[in-house]
A and B are shown apart, each in its own frame.
Chain A
Amino acid sequence: MMKFVLKQVKNGCRLGQLVDLPKEVAEKSLETPMCMLYTRAGSVPYMGRDVLDRIDKLPGAVNMPIPLLVENMDAMAEFPGGIKKFAAMDDFMTYCSIQDPAVLTPSGYNTKKAVSVWSCHGKYELDIPGYIKLMSSLDVDWVQSLSDGDTDRNTSEKRVIKSVERTINYLDELLEEKEKHEKLHSTKLIGTIVGGYLEEKRFHSARETAKRPVAGFSMEGFHNFGPESETFDLEDVKHLLSKTLELLPQDKPRILPGLMSPANLLFAVELGFDILDTSYPLFYRQMKICSALCYDYNLPPTSTDNILRDSDEQSLGWEMDLYDERYREDTAPVVKSCTCYTCTHHTRAYINHLLKVSELLAKLLLNVHNLHHYLRTFEVIRRAIADDTFKHLKQHIINQKPS
């Protein structure tokens, strides 16, 4: 049975690993801080397996958000092997989050009895029996407990209290109900910590959830995902988050879902989060993708000696808009030092052309690069934590933030 092992804590950053996984999963990267692959209906946007497999050092974990699966519940129930096999992703450890981190969840549809999720065809209300049934058809490693994280900075105290109560109640009911189904013994629940921006409510949520036999925690209730998570600044709630996280047991993983900009992901790691997801590189700007991530994650030997980037790239900030006319004749790869499929096979000029003529391949190539870039960032972060250079790395990346 899969476990999370915390190996080291350094200045708040946690180094850990998911262990005891089947061989085909264990061949991938399972070290934390990690980012799970974000998928839609079980596939990484624009990438079938044969394209995905061209990306090296894939993480061993994948998030398959429930709103994008719920429609096909009956087919899945009859398909032997669960959603992993159905989506040709059976060599990954799989987590299903209750909402889609990349898309705005409509507000105001949760009740005491049920949580609403939205597929392309409309609303599905998931109550306890329905969710138990869904969980057994999914047959995945982790499922997020039903939760009501429909709160933000402007939510009233009364509504926040309700969200905390409901979320704990859903969890208790699911834990009890789950015990009755033998098929669900291998599926673990992830508890959700909510409580809006109110310290006491959030602490209460954390304390209560920590008492329950959950496999880990997902920190939510600050926004309704999608673009709201892209503009959400973790620094604003740094103290609230760090105090909340103190209330959680050290030996269970902490998940922070949403579109995490490079700055946010560094703050998240520093606060002690273990698992994020790749919705940002795959889905940011709501898929109006014409930008490529190009921030430099290689720590320069000394702070003044920035040898890896030429002056052109330095002025670009975190990303470059490849639609821009200045790349029309630019035969350089997107990022010169990058080893991804896109950068080793194609040029800025070609992607610029594909974007201008609205060809599908543009998004595929950009997603391949962006995913690679984001995954490498996590690799570098883990190394920097181990080498005690995390603070420098963080500063180095944040310094590149476009003004």
Chain B
Amino acid sequence: MLSVSKYWVNALYRKARTSKITLPHGEVDAPVFMPVGTQGTLKGLLPEQLEELNCQIILGNTYHLGNRPGPDLLEKVGGLHKFMGWKKSLLTDSGGFQMVSLLDLAEITEEGVKFQAPHDKSVMMLTPEKSIHIQNAIGADIMMQLDDVVASTTTGPRVEEAMYRTIRWLDRGLKANKNATTQNLFPIVQGGLDPDLRRKCAQELIKRDVAGFAIGGLSGGEEKKLFCKMVSISTDILPRDKPRYLMGVGFAVDLVVCVALGCDMFDCVFPTRTARFGSALVPTGQLQLKKDKYKKDFRPIDDSCSCSTCQRYTRAYLHTVVTREPVACCLAHST
């Protein structure tokens, strides 16, 4: 059965908590922000640099990794950890989200998500079993179940259908997991913006023997008040001694609010993507480094930051290389 990762709550402020999540590849101090390394790398950073930034867990995308390098190769080389030279923990999504968000032609049936592969236009089917099969080949410490995702603004019977289907797909996923002792499978709380459906879903999921939970289907442009309510309803029901991963939420303000609501794990491509477009994150917001006003600004990005970029380079220097020279992305400072 599942190896329940040790998890304990150190402090509570209302619902907020700090904790240590013990995973096969080391401990993760939560609340934790997980940078997204879509294709087995984090935009121009060496795995060693990530470790030096004290990064304890990164996220890989099952859809992309399933395409290239593909589960066969990953299995052959002993998983993504080995393949990319990453010693700390890994989390993978189910692959379903990419299909729904990237592909026009996704059709969802009880069996799974049917979609047209963008590279050769062939029709493929991602089932809960297939998702776990790929994630087993990747070998992440935490895997996500395939869920039936609907836009958070959807209303009506489709939301209910998706919620119940998500629970059925969880059970299929749990059954398919070949590495139950080394890979933790997280269920996903669905139910749109309907408080009753959310509650029902959470209550059903906690009956399963799993090590942690995810809250999904949010942050798709819904009203902030409703968004917070849905998170809070979910965390009220989820057991206090297991980690909660709020999927797809990474903007600084949302992070703080959702920590207060009892979430522990977050992801978003936000920091690395902003770096690529020449912005740096600072406590007060963002610096658009290519703007002319930084031309003679001889301060570091952030006076209080200890990253190697802030230790060595000024805003003025970064202004000269940003979006132009191939060193720029590699100097991205991480928050």
Contact = CB atoms under 8 A, between A and B. Distances in A.
Given A47-B330, A86-B314, A359-B41, A349 B77 contact: yes
Contacts of A357: 39, 64, 68
A353 B40 contact: yes
B259 interface: no
A46 B85 contact: no
Contacts of A162: none
Contacts of B308: 48-50
Interface string B291-302: 000011010000
B326 interface: yes
A75 B330 contact: no
- For chain B, the bracket of interface size reads 35 or more
B267 to A, nearest CB: 19
A78 B327 CA distance: 23
Contact of B43 (A48, A329, A349, A360): A360
A291 B158 CA distance: 51
A74 interface: yes
A42 B328 CA distance: 11
Contacts of A9: none
A350 interface: yes
Nearest to A341: B46
Interface in A352-377: 353-354, 356-357, 359-361, 363-364
Interface residues of A, number: 43
Contacts, number: 125
B330 A364 contact: yes
Contact of A88 (B64, B73, B77, B317): B317
Nearest to A79: B298
A43 to B, nearest CB: 4
A128 to B, nearest CB: 25
A46 B321 contact: no
Interface of B: 39-49, 52, 64, 68-69, 73, 76-77, 83-85, 295-296, 298, 308-309, 312-314, 316-317, 319-321, 324-327, 329-331
Given A40-B325, A79-B316, A345-B46, 9 more contacts: A41-B320, A42-B320, A47-B330, A349-B83, A357-B68, A360-B44, A360-B329, A361-B44, A361-B45
14 contacts: A41-B324, A42-B317, A42-B321, A46-B330, A47-B327, A48-B327, A54-B48, A74-B295, A347-B77, A349-B83, A360-B44, A360-B330, A361-B42, A361-B43
